[in-house]
Amino acid sequence: MAPVVEVRGLVNRFGRQVVHDGLDMRVEADEVFGIVGGSGSGKSVLLRTILGLQRPSAGTVLIHGKDITRLSEAELRPIKAGYGVAFQAGALYSGLTVLQNVQLPMIEYLALPADALEGLARLKIRLVGLPEEAAGKYPAELSGGMVKRAAVARALALDPALLFLDEPTSGLDPVSAAAFDDLVLYLQQHLRLTIVMITHDLDSIFRTCNRVGVIVDKRMESDSLERIVEHPNPWIQAYFHGERARARLAAIEGAGHGA
C-alpha cells in the first residue's frame, strides 16, 4: 500500500541557509507519526512544505500519491480539503465563536443549509470532548486546553483521513497534556485517522506514536519508537536517554517483559 505522506529528497534553502538537505519521510496509513528535532532543525518549515504553504528548493512531497510541489493552487484545493491541521496556538479567529470557527471550512467546501452546518459543527465540538456551552464562547473565553481542542474540531470539520498536529500539548499542564494524548488516540482509533504530529513532548511521543522521525543534520532518521531510541546519533541519544526519557523507556521495557 502506498504511503499517505511521502517526502523524497527534500531541500529547503533560504539564501545561504540550508534547512533540509535530502530529507526523506514516509507516513503509513492509520499510524501516529511523531516528528521531533532540535531548535532550528526545520520542523515548522517541513510542516509548511508538506501542507503546500511553501515550495521546496528541490525534492517531492506526495500526499496520497500526488506530488503537491507540482500542483497549482486550484489543483491543491481538493487535496487540502482531505487533511486537517491544528496549529500550535490554535489559530482560531478571535472575533468568531467556537461554533463559527468550526463552521468555516464547511462553509468554504460544503453546500449545506445553515441548520445542517450548525448540527455538523456541534457534532465535531462534542467529538473532541468540549462541553456543549463551549460552542457559543469566543477563543479568549477558553482555557489553553480548550482552545487546542477547538482547533482540532475545526481541523476535523471536513472529515479528513489525515490530521496534522503542531505541538499539540505545548503550554499545557501535565494532566491536560495527558488528556489531550488520550484524545489523539481516541480520534485515531475511532476515526481511522493517519496523524502526523510535531512535538517536543517526550510523554506524548511515548504515549501516542507508532513511529518517530527525528530531524538531525538536515535529514530525517525514522523508525519505530523502540528502535529509534537506539540510533547512535548523539542528538538522538541525548534526547531519548536523558533523565526524563529514562523513566518512560523503563516503563516500555517493563510492559514488554510482562507481555
Fold of 29-57+72-82+160-259: Rossmann fold (3.40.50)
CA angle at 88 for the pair 17 and 207, rounded to the nearest 5°: 105
Least trusted range by pLDDT, from 6-20, 77-91, 192-206: 77-91
pLDDT (0 to 100) of residue 40: 86
Q: Write out pLDDT tens, residues 200-248.
A: 899 999 999 999 999 999 999 999 988 998 899 999 998 988 766 666 5
Domain with CATH 3.40.50.300 in the chain: 29-57+72-82+160-259
- Residue 214: count other Cβ atoms within 10 Å of its Cβ: 22
Do residues 66 and 121 lie in contact, with contact meaning Cβ atoms separated by under 8 Å? Answer: no
Q: Which of 88, 89, 92, 95 is nearest to 105 (CA)?
A: 92
Q: Which of 22, 24, 31 is nearest to 4 (CA)?
A: 31
pTM of structure: 0.90
